[in-house]
Chain A
Amino acid sequence: MFFIDAELIRLLAFVLGVIGFVALNAAYLVWLERKEAGHIQRRIGPKEVGPFGLLQPLADALKLMTKNLITPDGVDPILFKIAPILVMVPAIMSFVTLPFSDTLVARNLDVGLLAVFAFASINVLGLLLGAWGSRNKYAVISAARVVSQNVAYEIPMLVIIVTLVMITGTLNLHEIVTLQTGGFWHWNVLKFSASPLMPVAFIIFFICMLAETNRAPFDMAEAESELVAGAFTEYPGMGFGVFFMGEYANIVVGTSLATILFLGGWDCPLGLFPGVHWFLIKMYALIFVVIWIRWTYPRTTFYGLLNLSWKILIPVAFFNLILTSAMLKVF
């Protein structure tokens, strides 16, 4: 007779749920992106497949899946095939420790925040391997860009995180949210008692999140008008599809993290009816902003991005760190 741990079943259910959530999000964020881009550009966007084009992601996925999976001549077959998975899996792993509501969390790790960042850095590795493995000049240029971009942006992001950890005193994501409950004036983004620069810190975190997920205006890795498709140039069919889904999954992780760290997670702005719906509302609002930004700005250049990071974001982040520590010491 098998003894099945209730905890194990719960975990399995969560893993399935998380994978479903990520897949659904990856599919429907494409729809949202196309729809939002359409309306920003005064057109409708997808509308033919299903009502409001809602079945478009399914049609796209079907199309990608029916395509022949070519392994181009000269590529490193192992790296080439493993790279999309390396992008997708860490994104899913990150969800394990993200608390969606008070009870809805797969594994409430004490070092949850650290775990998320550990997983997030594997994403870069996936892109690097994929680009390197495809033996394409555009892809290699793209790989070099991805790595330096991510290295440059981890610093201000982590400095902001350190500030946040100093304020909350914990790495446990669940606890970080619990500390913010009770209305929007308790949220970290408005915690002026800790540091008057908290909204600025949130903006820096958001910018770094955009850069980490290679979203416009920092999409130099893909830069379709410069590098054709960057790291994904050689990828056919679902190989590209998985990269694409991984990218959206990373956006979901990034916005979820911003919601948890700065916007009070599942907390209601007025302190009423907290729950998973508030988490989702905040997360999708942030995703809306991410897409909105993409369809507004031109792309930055590589050195423009490094200039922004080293000349503006890092000094401001460090200033915020010092200010916060001083404030914490004084008050």
Chain B
Amino acid sequence: MNAFAPNPTNETFVLNLGPQHPATHGVLRIKLVMDGEYVVEAEPVLGYIHRMHEKMGENRTWAQFMPNTGRMDYLHALAYNHNFACIVERAAGIEVPERAEFIRVITSELNRISSHLLWFGAFILDLGGFSPLLYAFDDREQILDLLETVTGSRLTYCYFRFGGVYNDIDENFEAGARAFVARMRERMPMYHALVTKNIILMKRLTDIGHVPAEMCRKYGATGPVARGAGIDFDVRKHEPFSIYPRFDFDIPVYHEADSMARYMVRMDEIEQSLRIIEQALGAMPEGPVMAEKVPKTLKPPKGDYYHAVETARGSFGIRAVSDGTNTPWRLKLRTPSYSNLIVFGEAARGMLLPDALALLGSLDLVIPEIDR
């Protein structure tokens, strides 16, 4: 599996990777037991940015928890907004106007592309290439500018509301989104020529960092990590929510299970997201963006609810238990990066340090989402 089989000696040492390390993108700490440059054991140590989002949810009204959702996964905040809006709508039985659903899908998919672009840049940065990061940021900037014109923020969005969205989009946004789709389609071949087909990158990713399907199932890894291992699962397709079933898009699945497969899944997903945005822009209906009958103080009926969405990193599920009051009785957040990270401990065993870090980068971790 790995390029070299480790040759065990007794002279191991512990290497503390993080919590402040350039490759961990935040405050993740990984305790590595190393034999020379080989990783004998890897143990992720979590909790450096734990903020008790779940507990906070129990002390706030349903609506007041909305800004928290944008702060867990700051790279794909709108999917988190979306999930929380969806679960409360499901619980309280709120019908969302069609136009609002379209706006949600478009903005969320734009946000997914921006997340993948940042991951792409940061991943290549992990591998030592600096320029692709700034090319990706150039494109990402267009998305952020676009989303800023409708949501008012650039990163931690709080745009969706129970029963719709905060405010309507205008022609400028539609034109901008169309222009972005065209621009991104033009840029993708450049990324592939500069990075994907580069022999150095191919040598670093192909056949390295195996996370096979069994391991994904064992640890509950989802998203591009599982799809790179050949598991055809995407919440948008297999547990459809919102209006995703209306769009024609593919779920990119690769069977190699190596770092390259995960890389390719994400690159292909950018193209699929562009397809969804294009179709949604074409079919955008007129109408209100907010449901009419949303009670001021929301008290969802007693019950146990679950809803999941597909974020850029995998399946994000919320289990909400309502006791009929205006605050949730329990909010359980199942975040994808957490499960994806735990894979690292087993997958990195026997790898060389640079390959292990490439594997870590290919998991696309967002630390505040792991610790939440």
Contacts and interface: CB of A to CB of B under 8 A. Distances in A.
B23 A41 contact: no
B200 A297 contact: yes
Given A225-B22, A226-B353, A304 B125 contact: no
Interface string B270-281: 000000000000
A296 interface: yes
Interface in A176-192: none
A99 B26 CA distance: 50
Interface string A41-76: 111000000000000000000000000000000000
Contacts of A43: 134
Interface stretch (A83-91, A215-223, A238-246, A265-273): A215-223
Given A225-B125, A225-B126, A301 B131 contact: no
A283 to B, nearest CB: 24
A107 interface: no
B20 to A, nearest CB: 9
Interface in A252-296: 295-296
Contacts of B36: 144
Given A40-B131, A304-B203, 6 more contacts: A41-B134, A228-B21, A295-B130, A295-B131, A300-B204, A302-B37
Given A41-B134, A295-B131, A226 B204 contact: no
Nearest to B356: A226
Contacts of B357: 225-226
Contacts of A302: 37, 352, 354
11 contacts: A37-B130, A41-B135, A43-B134, A137-B34, A217-B128, A217-B200, A225-B125, A225-B128, A300-B200, A303-B3, A303-B352
Contacts of A223: 128, 354
A304 B352 contact: no
A223 B37 CA distance: 14
Contacts of A144: 36-37
Nearest to B127: A298
B321 interface: no
Nearest to A296: B131
B219 interface: no
Nearest to B201: A298
Contact of A42 (B4, B130, B138, B195): B138
B37 A224 contact: no
B355 interface: yes
Nearest to A219: B128
Contacts of B129: 296-299
Interface of B: 3-4, 13, 15, 21-23, 34, 36-37, 124-131, 134-135, 138, 194-195, 198, 200-201, 203-204, 352-355, 357
B40 to A, nearest CB: 14
Report which residue of B15, B23, B128 has the largest number of chain A beta carbons within 10 angstroms of its beta carbon: B128
A39 B361 CA distance: 27
B13 A137 contact: yes
Looking at chain A's contact residues, is the secondary structure mostly helix, strand, loop, or mixed?
A: loop
A302 B22 CA distance: 19
Nearest to B22: A225
B255 to A, nearest CB: 24
Nearest to A40: B131
A141 interface: yes
Contact of B23 (A225, A295, A297, A300): A225
Contacts, number: 80
Contacts of B200: 217, 297-300, 304
* 5 A-B pairs closest in CB distance: A299-B128, A298-B129, A41-B134, A298-B127, A301-B354
Nearest to A295: B131
B354 A298 contact: no
A217 B195 CA distance: 13
Nearest to B138: A42
Report which residue of B124, B134, B200 has the largest number of chain A beta carbons within 10 angstroms of its beta carbon: B200
Contacts of A297: 128-129, 198, 200
B353 A141 contact: yes
Contacts of A220: 354
Contact of A298 (B3, B21, B22, B124): B124
A42 B138 CA distance: 9
Contact of A226 (B3, B23, B131, B135): B23
Contact of A224 (B22, B135, B194): B22
Interface string A129-164: 000000001100100100000000000000000000
Contacts of A225: 22-23, 125-128, 357
A223 B22 CA distance: 10
A37 B129 CA distance: 12
B212 to A, nearest CB: 22
B296 to A, nearest CB: 49
Contacts of B15: 137-138
Contacts of B352: 301-303
Contacts of B203: 300-301, 304
A300 B37 CA distance: 15
Contacts of B22: 224-225, 228
A298 B353 CA distance: 16
Contacts of B130: 37, 41, 295
A216 B200 CA distance: 11
Contacts of B128: 216-217, 219, 223, 225, 297-299
Contact of B355 (A137, A296, A301): A301
A223 B353 CA distance: 11
